[in-house]
Structure 1
Amino acid sequence: MADEIIATTADSEIVNSRIFNFPRTLLFRAWSESEHLRNWWGPAGFTNTFNEFDFRVGGKWSFIMHGPDKGNYANECEFIKIEVPILIAWKRHSKPIFQILATFEEITPEQTLLVFKMLFHTVEECQKLKPFVVDKNEENFDRLEKELAKMTQ
């Protein structure tokens, strides 16, 4: 089925994780509410224009990432699995093609483990992006941390 989360091996996925000192429900809101997501999504210096954000299974997420120096990067995605406040998964319809699986695990009421996986159909596709995106995903998490702090004020 096209809407299932693809099975991968360690060689065909990129995984970043971080413990955030915020409640799981807040972290999930930062991912599931467009007014927060647009503020932090992407590496340092990037901004976003959201054209569509329909947060439901089968819903579309269409946006343009604007690079800090130049470049506009169109992204077309579709949500394939949502379990509030545990999991969000989507597939990209724009290149490069991969799926995202984000899981939110409560460690304590005020601490959440976020595991962010980029899932690829082939090892080759994964290895092309891996040298670039691991550090960029960490920048994304840094921006998320700042947005979460703003959300608690």
Structure 2
Amino acid sequence: MLSRAIGAPRELVFEVFTQVRHLSQWWGPAGFTTTTRSFEFRVGGDWDFVMHGPDGTDYQEWITWTEIVPPERIALVHGESRDDPNAFESVLTFEPAGEETRIVMRTVFPTKELRQEAVEKYHAIEGGRQTLDNLAAYVAELTGNETTPKGTQS
């Protein structure tokens, strides 16, 4: 589980997480960029995209939305393609915290081995932290607020 306080109301944080015009500005770990091939934000809809690593490596990615409860919760399946047998499930909650929003990401892998590979080979925990930091920085730009790292892992 990862969490991060974002200095904006949850309606805005939810919007920034659910519209491709925003996602392409902040999605991914530090140094990564994202190219969207297709995007349909609805239950059963898909986001087909490529993440470009700072070393030039391209990573084919696919997300299917399985639950959407604006502005509270999003559930998704994330893999390399629509039928990826190693795809993992994530649930994101957007919790009001005063003038901020606490976003919490919980991810479940199909096996312990796949989780371990994600952590060790792909540095998933650090990458998740960096992605939430990018989200916070992007929202700060939109709102004109400064941001400081407030992520936690448990």
Q: Deviations over 1:39-66 (max 9, x none)?
A: 1110001001101110000001100001
Using the size of structure 1 for normalisation, the TM-score is 0.85
Matches within 5 A, 1:15-26: 15-26=1-12
Identity %, equivalent residues: 36
Task: Give ranges in structure 1 of 5+ residues lacking alignment.
Answer: 1-14
Q: Does residue 130 of structure 1 match 2:122?
A: no
Amino acid at match of 1:101: V
Structure 2: runs of 5+ lacking an equivalent: 145-154
Runs (4+) off by over 6 Å: none
Which whole-Å deviations, capped at 9, do the CAs of 1:72-116 have from their partners, x for residues lacking one? 1111221100000001111124254101211101122x1111101
CA distance in 1, matches of 2:90, 2:22: 18
Match of 1:100 among 87, 90, 95: 90
TM-score by length of 2: 0.84
Q: How far apart are 1:143 and its partner, in Å? A: 0.8
Deviates more, 1:122-131 or 1:34-43: 122-131
- Matched residue type, 2:127: K
- Alignment correspondent of 2:148: none
CA separation of 1:45 and 1:93: change in aligned 2, threshold 3 A:
closer
- Report the AA paired with residue 103 of structure 1: T
SS of the residue corresponding to residue 22 of structure 1 reads: coil
Q: Secondary structure at the match of 2:96?
A: strand
* Alpha-carbon distance in 2 for matches of 1:36, 1:149: 13
Residues 1-150 of structure 1 correspond to what in structure 2 (within 5 A)?
A: 15-94=1-80, 96-108=86-98, 110-131=99-120, 132-150=123-141
Alignment RMSD, CA only?
1.3
Q: Distance in 1 between matches of 2:79 and 2:130?
A: 24
2:38 is aligned with what amino acid? Answer: E
Number of aligned residue pairs: give it.
138
